[in-house]
Every structure is written in structure tokens, then in C-alpha cells.
Structure 1
Amino acid sequence: MANDISLIILSGGNSTRFGQNPKKQWINIKDEPLWLFVVNRFKKNYSFDKIVVVGSKDELNYMSNFCCDIDMVASGQTRQKSIQNAITHISTKYVMISDTARCCFAKKVVKNLIKNHLKADCIVPTIDINDTIVYNYEYINRDKTKLVQTPQLSNTALLKKAISSDIDYTDESSAIKANDGKLLYIKGDKKSHKITTKNDIKKIDCLKKPSKKVLVGFGYDIHKFINNKPLYLCGVKIDSQFGLQAHSDGDVAIHSVIDAIIGAIGAGDIGDFFPDNDNKYKDISSVKLLEYIVLFVSKTGFEIVNIDMTIVAQIPKISPHKKQLRYSLSKILKIKPNHINIKATTNEQIDTIGDSKAMCVYCVANLKYSKV
């Protein structure tokens, strides 16, 4: 039994100190991101009344595709602001809060937190310090110091009150202590390392290597020709008497690439990222949209392997431009030109495309899980 306890997992940081993509919460453990690995690690062993995951605002929709029994909440500017956002979704008397970065927490520590949850306002795992300590150029007694870990288990109402002030606390226990709450320190685990930099991963033994699966996505788009608009394909301006009708610049080739890429990782479609009723994207260069997607898939733990595209158009002639289109896409996608294939065909004067009224593009994208 969970004893009226909910769980909050903090996973919305920018991973600035980690220093590379993917962001640490999106490190791949086999075929699941680290934040989900942590959630499932908790779920396998403890029955929480509710689980709330805090993530970056621009990643929340994608995160929700991984599971249906978790509340997703946007992160704040600080750890404390993120907790404030999440705790409004908590109605249980007690709440356990942990960081995705402390991914290999000891099960015995969590069991001990729950076992002692009635004994104080905040149950806090700590570990001893064995090294000599200097504070403000003065030596202090290490026997009176502890390193504080997560997860921590708190009285929800008191924690809400404690973090509602303008004071920014580094963890739950310091907030509750400052508001006259009672703390209970329990024994933590020295193996519960926190991932801050890439080198920290070497200290953690519960993480498996990324899956070697190749993920395949398919994209398709079609646009009507219109007068008085330039024609862009793969970010290249093509000499044509017609452009393509669209909310953006109408680069039908890039739109199909975007759908193929986000399709491969299960992230929806182009409209989920760039709604055609949002004026922010009115007449925008599709290159900017694709650059955003390339960064998004990199941050969330994937690498683009190759692209295979077929452009179907009666006019203009595409073949003379294929090499230029290939090199333009190579630059945007940051992959080798030979990993991009562009085919062109007509529609043999059949239907709207064959009647020179529209152009469509089919695209297949292969992606793989990133390694750290």
C-alpha cells in the first residue's frame, strides 16, 4: 500500500552542466528515456496514489506519448518553481519527490522513507562524509556534516506552505526546516549517484546501453500551386512561375521530411509542433522549422541516419536541382550528403498533380538511439 503518498519526478532541467545532447533526462536506457526508466523503477516496487512528471514545456506533448497514467506538468525557472507547479496536482497527504538525475536510487531507501513517513514532516536520506572538510577557509567537524540525497518524503500541506515564499530553497528538507517543520534523517546510499556531468554516468551501474533498433518514419505532404509566390524545395529557391500555397513558405519537401522524422520517434505530426492557425508561423521559412526539429530529436535522444525522398511534380523539372537540394538538406540535417537520396518523377498528367496544379512529396527517414 502507498499510504496516501504521491510521487513527483523532476525532469525539466536544461542539462547545462551535462554539456551535450541528448539532455540527461533523455539518455536512452535500452529503448526508453531516462525519465521514464526512473518512473518505471518506482512503479515496479511501490504503489503510489498518483505520479506527476515535470518536464520542459516544449517536450510535454511528446512525453505524454510514452504513458497514459501519469500527469505531465511544465517545469519552472528553478527546481522550487517546478515543485510549485507539480504540487498543485497533488491531493494526497504525503508526497515523495525525486530527480531523474538520481536514477539508480536504492530500493531499500525508498522503503525506509515510506516506513517512517508518519514520524516527521520530511523524511530525508543522508550519507556520511569521510573526507576532511573546509568551509569558508575553516576546518569543520565532518562528524557533524551529512550529504543530503533524494528522494525525500514530505507532508504535502507543509511543503506547499514552505515553498510558497520568495526564498529559493535547494531541496524540500531545507524548506520545511526553515518553516519549523520536523525532519527525520535516515540512512541513504552512497551508490545513489546523481548525474550532473557526462563523467557521472561511469559511476552508475544500473543503466543499460541504448537499443540498436532503427526507427522508421514516413512523411507525405501536398500543396497547390499559386501565383505571386516563390517556390522553395529543401530550402532552395527554385526558378518557377508558381509557388506553393501554405501558411508557411510552402516548402513541401521539408514538410514531408519533418513528418518523417517526428513520425520515426512517435512525436505526432508537423501540425502538433507548428499549427497552421498560429500567426507566428505565417510565411516562415520551413528551414527554421526543420532546424527546430533537428535540435528537438537531438535533445530527446535520437540521431538521423538517412533520408529517402520522392518529389512528384509535373512542373517544374526537378532533376536539374537534385544535387543542390541534397546538399541543402545535408547542411540542415547535419548528416552526410550520401545519406540523403532525392528522386523526382511526374504524375504522367494524371489528376491534380499531373494537371500541374499541385506538387507532393513522399519521404522516409531512419533514426537511431543516441549514445552518450
Structure 2
Amino acid sequence: MTARASTTWAVILAAGSGTRMGGDRPKQFLTLDGAPLFWRSAETFSHIPDLAGIVFVFPPAMLDESARMVEELTASRPLGLPWLTTAGGERRQDSVANGLAALPKECGRVLIHDSARPFFSAGLATRLIDALDEETPAAIPAVAVTDTIKECESGCVTRTLDRSRLVSVQTPQAFLRDVLEAAHALAVEKSLQATDDASLVEALGRPVAIVDGEQANVKITNPEDVRLLQKEAAMIPVTGFGYDVHKYGSGRPMVLGGVPIQGGPEVVAHSDGDVVLHALTDALLGCMGGGDIGQRFPDNDPRFEGMESSFFLREVLEDVRRTGIEIVHADLTIIAQIPKVGPHRERIAKNIAALLALPPERVAVKATTEEGLGFTGQKLGIKSVAVVSAIRRS
């Protein structure tokens, strides 16, 4: 079974005692957006097109209560995914092992995530899955260390570490299931202990890929971190607008929103001429004040000749997410006399939702003509406009 031939599940670790937080309940049950903290991670995972299901790992003493909680949450805030629950173990790695044991047999890739990190994006999880293959069985998110790190002993500094070689590691972490299970078996055999699963894969001698993490993907650990949950509610709305035009003529086969349009007129373009994704990319750039698509990907650069426009979109989308902006909705209109967009509308919307890692109901694709007026009415070309709604954490 190859990495691409099997399903992907997520394991959400919500079994810790949360002793550093104080209070009468573990931190994963703190309230965020009207639901327990662990639910935020589940909702983010539900936006990943490749995900097949979720396993929740809860404290053994709270397993039945927590399972009922998930049932109630799915009734009011459906995930659209199957889910399972299982009891955690004494240590984090024991909880992971229990989560792995609960996965269905067809699961070949797994995302392991600490519920105390509720602010990761669906895009990050998607990039981790994409990084997996048979030669690279593990992928983890990491951010550069900006503080000076010193090694100490008995209250004194023994040496200063080279921070250019250091990264701070986050979750979720992605693995080929069989490799992670082998790593946990080795840990049992050799009594190894680790604070993350990648360390166990490293002990197997298998490579672990690094994917750019997210500064917003912070961990709720201490009582003062609760302020992050309070701050999460204070977000700044941002809007990006995009507009693009292509004329008809001998050139590229028509593609709209990443969907080939059979029988449509050819367009004159340097890249693949996808007017919809070009407008959408411009709107994303607008959300972060990042200029326009022509500045970012010049049409006189031979590297971009014939390039699929989804490449431009993904590049910009990663930059948007790195700046702490979360895309929440996209509204697109295609203006053309020909071709008829209606038969392709659903596929275009579905493909754009997948590219943006948004649920389908957050992507609108509309089409109109200009009743014979202007260059589109005279069937000389096509244009598209896009409006993207997003939130930026203050």
C-alpha cells in the first residue's frame, strides 16, 4: 500500500491531566468559541479534503462523558466525518499508541495532534500530508528559533547553542501509519521516551521532513496562556478584491478555476490563462497587502510559461497563512458571453474549495453575461472578479 493509495485519519490527543493549568478540569475542556478546546482542532481537520476520519483520545476516567460530549457537539456543529473515541494512557506516547490501535485498517497515513494547539490551519495539515511518501515517512511543522538558547547545568551556562540550526517543533505531525507503529514498537522494546512522535521515528533511522510551521500555532500550557483564548475572539476582518481579463485567440485551452472547459475558446496567456484563479490569487494578495499577481509572477518570466494557475494560488495562500490570516469565504463571478459556465459551475466551486481548504458552502461561483455589450458581449474575451473574506488575528 502506497502513501497515496490509503486513507488519512487524524488522532487528537485530549487525554492529558493539564496539571499546570490548575482548575477542576483538564485544559482540553476549556471553552473556546462556545465549545471545548479540543473541538476547535476537530473542526479545522474537518476542512481537509483528504481526511477520512478522526480518533479522539480522552482521559480514561472521562471517556464515556467525553464521548457523549462529542455526540452532542456533532449534533449542533457537524464535522461531516466519522469519528471514534478511545482512552489515553499514562504517558503521551501511550495515548498515541492507543489512538493508533483504534484506527481502521484501511488507514495508511495519520496526523497526530495535541489538542492544546487549537490555532493551526487546515492548510498546514494539508502541506504535511502532501510531504509524505515512501522515502519520507514523517513530516513535522517547525518554526525558526529567534531567542538565544543556552545549555545549563547546576544553575550555570555550559554552552550557547547555534540557533541557526535549531527549530521549534509543533503539531500536527504526519506519518505513514506502519512506520509510526514500528517506531512505537521500538520504544516499547527499548524503553524509549519521547515528547513527540517524530523523535521515535528518528530512533528508527527514518527521515523526518520539515514543513514551515505557523507562528499562530501556539500551545496552551500555563494559566496565563488562557489569555490567548480570550484574544482569539478579537480578530480583524480583512477583504481582498481581484480582477482579471484574458482575450480570446490562438493560445491556451480554456481552464476556469482549475477545470478544463471542453469546447471553450482558447485564450491568449503566458501561463495557462485561468482567469478565475488569477482573480482569486489577486484577491488573496489583497488580503495581506501583497501587491498583485503581475508583480509576483511576471508574464515575461519564462519560468511561468504555461504554468498551471493553481501553482500561483498555492504559493500566495502559504504566504497569507504565514502572516496569520485565515481565509473564511470566497465569492467569484465569471463574466463571459461564451462559453456557458453553468454546466461547469459545481466542479469549479468544488475545486476552488479544495484549493483553499474551505468547506463547499464557503465558496460561491456565479456567472453572468453583459448582454452583448463590451468586449465580453462581443465574444472577444472573458473576465472574472473575486472577493475573499478573511480574518487577521490582532
TM-score by length of 1: 0.53
Structure 2: segments with no counterpart, 5+ residues? 72-81, 153-157, 235-394
Q: 1:70 aligned to 2:83? A: yes
Displacement of 1:208 in angstroms is 4.4
Letter of the 1:198 partner, please give it.
P
2:145 alignment partner in structure 1: 129
| Contact 1:12-1:55 at 8 Å conserved across structures | yes
Q: 1:33 aligned to 2:36? A: yes
Range that drifts further, 85-94 or 145-154: 85-94
Displacement of 1:9 in angstroms is 0.2
Q: Secondary structure at the match of 1:64?
A: helix
Letter of the 1:123 partner, please give it.
A
1:84 alignment partner in structure 2: 97
Displacement of 1:20 in angstroms is 1.8
1:146 alignment partner in structure 2: 167
Aligned runs of 1:324-363 on 2, under 5 Å?
Answer: none
Q: CA RMSD in A?
A: 2.1
Q: Give me the whole-angstrom Cα distance separating, in 2, the residues matched to 1:45 and 1:85.
A: 23
| Contact 1:154-1:172 at 8 Å conserved across structures | no
1:100 alignment partner in structure 2: 115
Displacement of 1:106 in angstroms is 2.6
Q: Give me the whole-angstrom Cα distance separating, in 2, the residues matched to 1:113 and 1:16.
A: 30
Deviations 1:318-341 (A, max 9, x none): xxxxxxxxxxxxxxxxxxxxxxxx
Q: Give me the whole-angstrom Cα distance separating, in 1, the residues matched to 2:57 and 2:35.
A: 17
| Contact 2:114-2:171 at 8 Å conserved across structures | yes
1:168 alignment partner in structure 2: 193
- Pair 45,207 (structure 1): closer, same or farther in 2 beyond 3 Å: farther
2:20 alignment partner in structure 1: 17
Displacement of 1:133 in angstroms is 1.4
1:182 alignment partner in structure 2: 207
2:136 alignment partner in structure 1: 120
Give structure 1 regions of 4+ aligned residues with deviation exceeding 2 angstroms.
Answer: 44-47, 66-69, 201-209
Letter of the 1:149 partner, please give it.
Q
Q: Give me the whole-angstrom Cα distance separating, in 1, the residues matched to 2:27 and 2:49.
A: 24
Q: Give me the whole-angstrom Cα distance separating, in 1, the residues matched to 2:163 and 2:229.
A: 26
Q: Give me the whole-angstrom Cα distance separating, in 2, the residues matched to 1:6 and 1:179.
A: 22
Q: 1:198 aligned to 2:198? A: no
- Pair 193,16 (structure 1): closer, same or farther in 2 beyond 3 Å: same
User: How many pairs are equivalent?
Assistant: 209
Deviations 1:263-301 (A, max 9, x none): xxxxxxxxxxxxxxxxxxxxxxxxxxxxxxxxxxxxxxx
- Pair 124,11 (structure 1): closer, same or farther in 2 beyond 3 Å: same
In terms of Rg, which structure is larger? 1
Letter of the 2:84 partner, please give it.
D
Deviations 1:290-317 (A, max 9, x none): xxxxxxxxxxxxxxxxxxxxxxxxxxxx
Q: Give me the whole-angstrom Cα distance separating, in 2, the residues matched to 1:41 and 1:113.
A: 14
Q: Secondary structure at the match of 2:118?
A: coil
Deviations 1:169-224 (A, max 9, x none): 11111100111111111110111100001211323577449xxxxxxxxxxxxxxx
1:357 alignment partner in structure 2: none
Q: 1:7 aligned to 2:10? A: yes
